Structure 1
Amino acid sequence: MGTPKRKAGTTRSSLIYDTLRQDLLNGRFQAGERIAISALKNHYDVGLSPLREALNRLAAYGLLIQENQRGFRVPRLNREELGDITEMRRQLEGMALGRAIERGDAEWESKLLAAAHRLKRADETSEKTDEWEQLHGLFHRTLLAPCGSAWLLRFIEQLHDQFDRYRRLAPSVPQLREQLNQQHDELVELALAGRVPEAEKLIQDHVHLSHMVALGACE
């Protein structure tokens, strides 16, 4: 793989953290797999110190499990855990969306329309590419951005990553994906119209429907 390209102002530890995080979400490592630090060091062409720092951060974030004196392991996939993650997403995203609609201004509306437009264009392709994943994440972050609570957004971001580890490993379900794509458009319409109760219900339904897709990773 070679050395990841470093962005301006990005530390070596942060760069390998971001790269490993994406690889964990994309299923490069098997659920339950023990991580060999020496293999990672060679694969990513990175020093031991920044690698260990990145692994410790990922363990604290919940994308790795730190085992006493035995390194790190990828968390296993578990239906009960997925259900817990889903329910927390439903509650927190419903709360955040209601606040975002109440606080959102014209600039937010413009950014939301732009994010929705880019995602819709990517939706027209048949596969979930890296670009689609980035645009999908951007859409959801933009939708909730004005909620007024950095901690709430931080918790939701972490839950999204935990959830996406399941969703990206699950088999494609075209019928459900079509419904999810349609719900993106409906969320924008409700948000721009200021229809808070309906938008809160729809985001919760949206998370539940995505849960039905993600369950395929546990089978």
Structure 2
Amino acid sequence: MNQYIQPSASTASSRIYDVLRKDLVGGRFAAGEKLAINALKEHYQVGLSPLREALNKLAAYGLLIQENQRGFRVPTLSRDELDDIAQMRLALEGMAFEQAIVNGDAAWEADLLAAEHRLKCADITLDKDDEWEKLHTQFHRTLVAPCGSVWLLRFIEQLHDQFDRYRRLGPKMPVIRQELDQQHHELVELALKRDAQAARTLLDEHIRKSYDVALQCFLEHG
């Protein structure tokens, strides 16, 4: 079923940007695939002007490659890029989490508990994968939310999207997801205890475990 985007001049570009971003991260388009503008217009029911504006933004964000006079193409995947993304996540997300633990207040603690609970409940029903992915992203955003740096949060968001292009390639693995979900719970406990060092160590382990999943997915599709 086509996803209908309202053609309002003030909102169409933002809406198509959000939907296309989700589809690019989720693997609807193959790595290296050239996007056909007319096909996109038809599928998303959007005008040419807001579509091109959204495509330009996605290219600037790194989820598309703009080819001179030849349109847009989905970036290819590589082991070197995946390694680079994972290393940057370890550095930036770990730093942000430590700062969040220092800066976070009681409202942040409540948000963390709520985000972890929603994610755990969603994980019970693995067929609702879109819901789990949305709540998983929200959980990781909440972990680092009070880090105090808007730019750091922007970089982390971009890294998550790039990382998920690899991670979502493969079949779902309930056992691994359960292990990651347990780590989500432990991350919250350490944050509430304000144990920044132990929390950073566990987050590093969490990212490396996710990297192993993403690497395996990449190798299977390489």
Contact 1:102 1:194 in 2 (8 A): yes
- Name the structure 2 match of 1:92: 92
Matched, 1:37 2:33: no
- 1:39 positional shift: 1.0
Matched, 1:76 2:84: no
Matched, 1:182 2:168: no
| Identity between Structure 1 and Structure 2 (%) | 64
- 1:175 positional shift: 3.0
The 2-side partners of 1:42 and 1:216 are apart by: 35
Alignment of 1:14-163 (within 5 A): 14-127=14-127, 129-163=129-163
CA offsets 1:197-216 (integer angstroms, 9 cap, x no match): 00011111111100111113
Contact 2:7 2:47 in 1 (8 A): no
The aligned amino acid for 2:114 is A
The 2-side partners of 1:123 and 1:166 are apart by: 20
- Name the structure 1 match of 2:4: 3
The aligned amino acid for 2:54 is A
The aligned amino acid for 2:118 is R
State the number of aligned residues.
218
The 1-side partners of 2:135 and 2:3 are apart by: 26
Greater alpha carbon shift after TM alignment, 18-27 vs 164-173 = 164-173
The aligned amino acid for 2:85 is I
The aligned amino acid for 2:67 is E
Q: Find the residue that maps to 1:31 and give its secondary structure.
A: coil
Q: Which runs of 4+ in 1 moved over 3 A?
A: none
The 2-side partners of 1:53 and 1:45 are apart by: 15
Q: Where in structure 1 are there 5+ consecutive unaligned residues?
A: none
TM, length-normalised to structure 1: 0.95
RMSD of aligned C-alpha atoms? Answer: 1.6
Change (3 A) 1:202 1:58: same
CA offsets 1:1-33 (integer angstroms, 9 cap, x no match): 1523589x9611000000111111111111110
Contact 1:6 1:15 in 2 (8 A): no
